Amino acid sequence: MIQDFIRGVIGGFVIVYSAYLGHQYALASSGKKRRIIINNCYGGFSLSQKAIDELRKRHHLPVRLNEHGLEVEERYLRDDPIFIDTIEEMGKEAWGKNARLAVVEIPYDVEWRIEDYDGKEYVAERHRVWHAKETVEEEVFELLETEAE
């Protein structure tokens, strides 16, 4: 009886997950693009007070202010249709201090993240990254210290 229950749960999961993968594949193969808002100038992503007020009216997510204009998990907003529509409709009025917001289109099936250099953002495909634990200079310094003792 328990085994039948477990088989049913697993079977249901497989069906739902297969449908999800099928939907993702259909979106990717259809040529559909994902639209993402980024900051396209040096300085950093920020929204104007007017844009924040408008987002509070339109969106279900709590939007709070911080020194950069937005305090919410940005990953959840950056490709959100309501967020994008609001920013596009408002144009320059949506831009915060030292910001120039723009829409980037990427293939729908790409796993992405936003990276930046001095506040100027770009969309990058996610991949694995490894960093060194120590620099060569630190290793040499440790060897010299050990030899001196």
Is 139 inside any structural domain?
no
Q: Which residue segment(s) compose the domain that 88 sits in?
A: 33-128
Is 51 inside any structural domain?
yes
CA dist 122 and 148 (Å) reads 48
What is the number of domains present in the chain?
Answer: 1
pLDDT on residue 141: 60
Give 68's pLDDT tier (boundaries 50, 70, 90): low
The yes-or-no verdict on residue 100 having pLDDT over 90 is yes
Per DSSP bridges, beta strands 112-117 and 120-125 are: antiparallel
Is 60 inside any structural domain?
yes
Is 149 inside any structural domain?
no
Is 9 inside any structural domain?
no
pLDDT on residue 71: 55
User: Where is pLDDT greater, at 59 or 112?
Assistant: 112
Is 16 inside any structural domain?
no
Is 112 inside any structural domain?
yes
CA dist 80 and 72 (Å) reads 13
36 burial (CB, 10 Å; 0-12 / 13-18 / 19+) is buried
Is 82 inside any structural domain?
yes
CA dist 31 and 40 (Å) reads 25
Q: Could you give the angle at the alpha carbon of 33 between the alpha carbons of 76 and 86, nearest 5°?
A: 50
The yes-or-no verdict on residue 79 having pLDDT over 80 is yes
Supply the pTM of this predicted model: 0.62
The yes-or-no verdict on residue 130 having pLDDT over 70 is yes
The yes-or-no verdict on residue 60 having pLDDT over 80 is no
Nearest CA among 100, 95, 90, 109 for reference residue 20: 109
Nearest CA among 105, 49, 58 for reference residue 79: 105
